[in-house]
Structure 1
Amino acid sequence: MTEFVVMGLLPNIAADLQPAAWAASPEDAVAGAGWLITLYALGVVVGAPTIAASVAKYPRHRVMLALATALTVFNALTFVLPTFELVAASRFLAGLPHGAYFGIGALVAADVLGPGKRAKGVAFVLTGLTVANVVGVPIGTFLGQQFGWRIAFLLVAAIFALATVMIAFTVPPHAGDPGRTLRAELGAFRIGQVWLTLGVGAIGFGGFFAAYSYIASIVTDVAGSPEWAVPIILVVMGIGMTAGNLVGGHLADLDLKRTLVGGMVLLIAVQALLGLTAQWIVALAFFVFAVGFVSSVLSPTIQTRLMDVAGDNQSIAAALNHSALNIGNASGAFLGGVVIAAGFGFVAPVWVGVGLAAAGLALALVSFRLEARRPSLVAA
């Protein structure tokens, strides 16, 4: 919720924190407010590998508790800070613990479910992200529209505070790896397949975020629907993401390669159809659901692929998936803002997304092709 609720409230945030820019050009103001999405994503990119690698030796349940506390504090800062620049800084800080938090949680779940069900364990944790898009993001968007956008972040901070308490009481003790060091974990970056898989997530998912970041303006300005339709479209997206995530965990355990390649092909197709039909609200809702579904099929697939190719560097591998997705978030939001500011309209980010997804597919094919040429590495 903390990451995605901004997207439904960009026009509200732009009008409140950048009133002069909003008065001159709402499109430019919304594009500028997109930096809040980009900075959060950059916080995840920076924090995920460094924090996960640094804490790999500590008990994982205690690390989760510390990270949940940090997320509570930094989201509370977004609620209280007065200017755009300070709010932007708080978004970067809130992003820092994000990747390590979900990565370590995914490791715990994968270990609990055991061999042959690792992707299902990852998908189980990532279901929290998708449920947030069904319930939390639409509610936060609605409350932000009615009572001011800051209310959404007060709600986020309260949820994180509750989550911190629940982790303390419900997550069982789970040992870290006392022998792991920051230097050892960073050894994952010496593995070529890790870089290729990160590229699939970062570039391919940039396509999803290019469209998602500006969904509020697509609903109101392109489809001509009232503002109250935005939370409904977000619910539709969230339902698609929840269903896709659960299906993706199952399919990845059956055949990870086909799930990854087929998912990227479908992501290209459904985003293209979204771009062609965005002016009709019913078609928009259908293809928003489809984009959410396909993207979430890919999410546990990419994270499991990273864990498979990273060898012993499991803590950093689990967190790096969130770095990759948030590079996609940052680049998608940025490139979407660029084409909007250039005057191509609010549908243009969807076409940026098609191109990025195609590039992600190409990287996936290269990764599997190289792996097939080195069977000894596969066996190892």
Structure 2
Amino acid sequence: MMVEKLSKHRLHVLTAMFVLIAFMLGCNEFMVVGNLSLIAKSYHESLSQISWLVSAFAWTYAIVTPLLAIFTNKVHKYYLLIVLLIVFLTGTILSSCAPNIGWLLFSRIITASVAGMIESLLSVIVYQLSHNPKQRSMTIAWIYTGFSIASVVGVPLGTFIADHWRWQDAFIMCAVITTIATIVAFMILPKNLQAGEGKYRDQVVIFQDKIIWYGIFFVICGAATLYGYYTYIRPLVHQQLHFGLNSLSFILLLLGVVDILANQVAGRIAVDNGFKKLWYVYVLNIVLLALFGVMMQHQWTGIVWLFILGFTVAIFGSTAQVFFLNEATEKYPSAINLASTFNAIFYNVGIALSSMTAGQTLRFGGLSSLGWNSMAYCIGATILCFILAKKLTKD
């Protein structure tokens, strides 16, 4: 059965729905971070106990997402997305009325178990509904923009709601957004989206492809380049550059806006072997990071450097996602669901890795030395970007 080709108007409506879903996923994850102290207080628990909410979500996301991708490969994408959204909604509602910390932790595990698959599934559906490479890249970029918007407003919005009402009301807001997104998806998503084919072995064979591993390590190095210094963005702005707490919130908001703009540019770069263009950007990033320590010695040069890096380091996501989906579509059609999860999973691996080494760098060298931590990963990302650009050009 052929997949229905959507009109331009209907595809725009669908893209808006996908952005809403991405925003909802991001808000659900980020809002807990801003309300940890309030959650701890309401359940009479310590912050160290409550921190399990964050780590449990991350580990569940990383472990369950690829397994879910493999085992739901033959399920029709329309029904799969609707069911996953309903499960996510159930977990969100449970979070809003959890009677104790155990139930809240359980609800977070429920939402985390499907969040990664929902995110990946959006990209797969885009590939089925759009046969225009530029349209695909830009729609994927808009999906990432939804996450960027959530990162900008998710924490402050959740904190604002919690401060004026209750932290549970922040989850109620997420539940309302999820309900709207589910209803819209039920109404406008084509019902003849193709299911995957092939057995489990046909999917995991993708891991035998060297070029896929180049892409995986590139994502790890790309994310590590960003979070090699961004993990400590608050102390960098407040302690190293001596901006006040009032200025800090505004600067973090502007950095979020820069990230949104970067995602839009990323969609344009991703068209037609984006690695060829990204390679030059990463060479520039090496130079920027080499000068990081010097620039951080002065307030205004430091903040300008953080804004420039916030743009140039963050534009790889769409290229990586388009690469994984292109490779799976052409060589491993049975593994497209699994391939769609690689970017999200290994991005988080990069964050975990660079956060760990950033802590050691900070211990021995101070905040201004974090640029060297990021630069080490950036060199790796540049080499991998160059290799991928060459190999994909030959193909």
Which TM-score tier does this pair reach, normalised by the shorter chain?
0.7 to 0.9
Q: How many residues align?
A: 364
Shift of 1:273: 5.2
Within the candidate set 339, 346, 352, 1:317 is matched to: 339
Within the candidate set 201, 211, 215, 2:219 is matched to: 201
The residue type equivalent to 2:257 in the other structure is I
Within the candidate set 312, 330, 334, 2:352 is matched to: 330
Does residue 68 of the first structure (1) align with residue 81 of the second (2)? no
The residue type equivalent to 2:86 in the other structure is T
Q: Alpha-carbon deviations, 1:278-307, whole Å to 9, x = none?
A: 566655554443333224421100111112
Q: Alpha-carbon deviations, 1:53-78, whole Å to 9, x = none?
A: 22222221222222233334445566
Q: In 2 relative to 1, CA 271–58 (structure 1 residues): closer, same or farther, beyond 3 Å?
A: farther
Write the distance in 1 (CA, Å) between the matches of 2:172 and 2:291.
36
Write the distance in 1 (CA, Å) between the matches of 2:36 and 2:359.
13
Does residue 45 of the first structure (1) align with residue 85 of the second (2)? no
The residue type equivalent to 1:112 in the other structure is L
Q: Which residue of 2 aligns with 1:105?
A: 122
Write the distance in 1 (CA, Å) between the matches of 2:93 and 2:388.
41
Does residue 177 of the first structure (1) align with residue 195 of the second (2)? yes
Q: Is the 8 A contact 1:263 1:297 kept in 2?
A: no
Mean CA deviation greater in 257-266 or 148-157: 148-157
Q: Is the 8 A contact 2:297 2:368 kept in 1?
A: no
Shift of 1:200: 0.4
Mean CA deviation greater in 276-285 or 323-332: 276-285
Which protein has the larger Cα radius of gyration, Structure 1 or Structure 2? 2
Shift of 1:120: 2.3
Q: Alpha-carbon deviations, 1:10-57, whole Å to 9, x = none?
A: 99589969x9998xxxxxx8xx99876655443333233221222222
Shift of 1:251: 1.9
Shift of 1:276: 4.5
Q: Which residue of 2 aligns with 1:291?
A: 309
Does residue 122 of the first structure (1) align with residue 140 of the second (2)? yes
Q: Alpha-carbon deviations, 1:92-112, whole Å to 9, x = none?
A: 654332332122111222333
Q: Alpha-carbon deviations, 1:119-165, whole Å to 9, x = none?
A: 22322322212232344344335556777877655544543344333
Q: In 2 relative to 1, CA 297–170 (structure 1 residues): closer, same or farther, beyond 3 Å?
A: same
Shift of 1:337: 4.2
Structure 2 alignment gaps of length 5 or more: 1-25
Shift of 1:368: 4.5
Q: Is the 8 A contact 1:222 1:347 kept in 2?
A: yes
Quote the RMSD (CA, aligned, Å).
3.9
Q: In 2 relative to 1, CA 10–167 (structure 1 residues): closer, same or farther, beyond 3 Å?
A: same
Shift of 1:180: 3.4
Q: In 2 relative to 1, CA 215–145 (structure 1 residues): closer, same or farther, beyond 3 Å?
A: farther
Q: Which residue of 2 aligns with 1:364?
A: 385
Q: Is the 8 A contact 1:204 1:357 kept in 2?
A: yes
Q: Is the 8 A contact 2:215 2:388 kept in 1?
A: yes
The residue type equivalent to 1:356 in the other structure is Y
- Quick one: percent identity of the two aligned structures? 20
Q: In 2 relative to 1, CA 21–206 (structure 1 residues): closer, same or farther, beyond 3 Å?
A: farther
Q: Is the 8 A contact 1:113 1:121 kept in 2?
A: no
Mean CA deviation greater in 101-110 or 228-237: 228-237
Residue correspondence of structure 1 range 208-247 to structure 2 within 5 A: 208-247=226-265
Write the distance in 2 (CA, Å) between the matches of 1:306 and 1:351.
29
Q: Which residue of 2 aligns with 1:25?
A: none
Q: In 2 relative to 1, CA 168–325 (structure 1 residues): closer, same or farther, beyond 3 Å?
A: same
Shift of 1:187: 2.0
TM superposition score normalised by structure 2: 0.74
Mean CA deviation greater in 72-81 or 103-112: 72-81
SS of equivalent residue, structure 2 residue 340:
helix
The residue type equivalent to 1:217 in the other structure is P
The residue type equivalent to 1:220 in the other structure is H
Q: Alpha-carbon deviations, 1:188-212, whole Å to 9, x = none?
A: 1121111110110012212212333
Does residue 251 of the first structure (1) align with residue 269 of the second (2)? yes
Q: In 2 relative to 1, CA 267–151 (structure 1 residues): closer, same or farther, beyond 3 Å?
A: farther
Write the distance in 2 (CA, Å) between the matches of 1:64 and 1:278.
45
Q: In 2 relative to 1, CA 11–52 (structure 1 residues): closer, same or farther, beyond 3 Å?
A: closer
TM superposition score normalised by structure 1: 0.77
Write the distance in 2 (CA, Å) between the matches of 1:336 and 1:357.
14
Q: Is the 8 A contact 1:35 1:334 kept in 2?
A: no
SS of equivalent residue, structure 1 residue 114:
coil
Q: Is the 8 A contact 1:206 1:328 kept in 2?
A: yes
Write the distance in 2 (CA, Å) between the matches of 1:272 and 1:8.
32
Residue correspondence of structure 1 range 337-376 to structure 2 within 5 A: 337-340=359-362, 342=363, 344-346=365-367, 349-368=370-389, 375=394
Q: In 2 relative to 1, CA 111–270 (structure 1 residues): closer, same or farther, beyond 3 Å?
A: farther
Q: Is the 8 A contact 1:38 1:334 kept in 2?
A: no
Q: Alpha-carbon deviations, 1:207-251, whole Å to 9, x = none?
A: 212333333333333333344444423321222122121212112
Q: Which residue of 2 aligns with 1:133?
A: 151
